[in-house]
Amino acid sequence: MSVVLYGSQSTASLVVHWLLLELGIEHELHQLDFDRREQKSADYLALNPAGRVPTLVLDGQVLTESAAIAMHLADLHPAAGLAPLPGSPARGDYYRWICFCVYTLMPAYRAWFYPDEPAGEANVAEVKQRARLQLEAAWQQMADHLQAHGPYVLGERASVVDFLLTMLMRWSRNMPRPTDQWPVLAAHAARMKARPAFAEVYRREGITDWR
Ligand SMILES: N[C@@H](CCC(=O)N[C@@H](CS)C(=O)NCC(=O)O)C(=O)O
């Protein structure tokens, strides 16, 4: 199988890169330089018209959207047990929390990190404030869930949701209220960071923060 990941250091491609390592999938990595706007080059836009990372090319099939790619990788490697069986009650929870990451956390982060996008430069401060409040409310909801149903999002077993969630928690590290301020979220992150593939993805991306 030919697997090529287009990513950029410390971005949404991290969860895909991490899962490729976790699942032992051999791959080629192309790190795009955002400072040089390589994600907007004509060659890359031909692959991914959104001009964002990640993009995974799997035997010639172009896949985008980090959560979709992550779920697909888990389905391709069922023995790793990172996705509950389709049709099982746990699969329902899995979709629920993947969608929580995608519909609630990710748009708020997009607004926080690209605050001019929703309403222009003039409204950046207000957009950031709203994004911050949305994120903190969502983290509270996740903390309450983990407190009641943890240690992992689906209970006793780690799944793709926990990988995605860990990446999203990491993004809060320089925000006014980082997720490590919720003890149950910090404990969840510590469990996920202890996985050998986490250290490996950090090593390969050259990241040192939030360890
Ligand atoms: N929904 C997309 C979001 C991807 C995304 O926003 N990636 C950011 C990095 S975290 C990006 O490529 N930004 C570059 C840009 O927008 O120019 C996914 O999860 O894959």
User: pLDDT digit string (tens) for 130-181?
Assistant: 999 999 999 999 999 999 999 999 999 999 999 999 999 999 999 999 999 9
Please tell me if the CB atom of residue 51 comes closer than 6 angstroms to any atom of ligand 1: yes
For a substitution probing ligand 1, which of 52, 101, 104, 171 has the most ligand atoms within 8 Å of its CB? 52
pLDDT at 206 over 90: yes
Ligand 1 atom with the shortest distance to the CA of 53:
12
Measured in angstroms, how far is the CA atom of residue 111 from the centroid of ligand 1? 12
Give the C-alpha separation, 54 to 187, whole Å.
Answer: 27
70 lines ligand 1 (CB under 6 A): no
d(CA 3, CA 20): 9
pLDDT at 1: 87
What pLDDT score does 12 carry?
Answer: 98
Domains, the chain, in order of start with CATH, read: 3-81+199-205 (3.40.30.10), 89-194 (1.20.1050.10)
For residue 60, how far is its CA from the centre of ligand 1 (angstroms)? Answer: 21
Tell me the residue type at 31.
Q
Helix (H) / strand (E) containing 7: strand 3-7
In this structure, the residue with its CA closest to atom 18 of ligand 1 is 65
The residue nearest atom 14 of ligand 1, judged by CA position, is: 52
Sign of CA dihedral 189, 19, 5, 208: positive
CA of 135 to the centre of ligand 1 (A): 17
Q: 170 CB less than 6 Å from ligand 1?
A: no
In angstroms, what CA-CA distances link 133 with 100, 105, 177? Answer: 16, 11, 10
CA distance 13 to 200: 14
Instruction: Kindly report, residue by residue over 61-104, the tens digit of the pLDDT.
Output: 999 999 999 999 999 999 999 999 999 999 999 999 999 999 99
CA–CA separation, 116 and 122 (whole Å): 8
152 secondary structure, DSSP code: B
CA–CA dist 16, 73 (Å, integer): 8
Tell me the β-bridge partners of 4. Answer: 28, 57
Strands 55-58 and 28-31: what pairing? unpaired
The encoded tokens of residue 147 equal 């407190």
* Omega prior to 54 cis, within 30 of 0: yes
Distance CA 131, CA 51 (A): 23
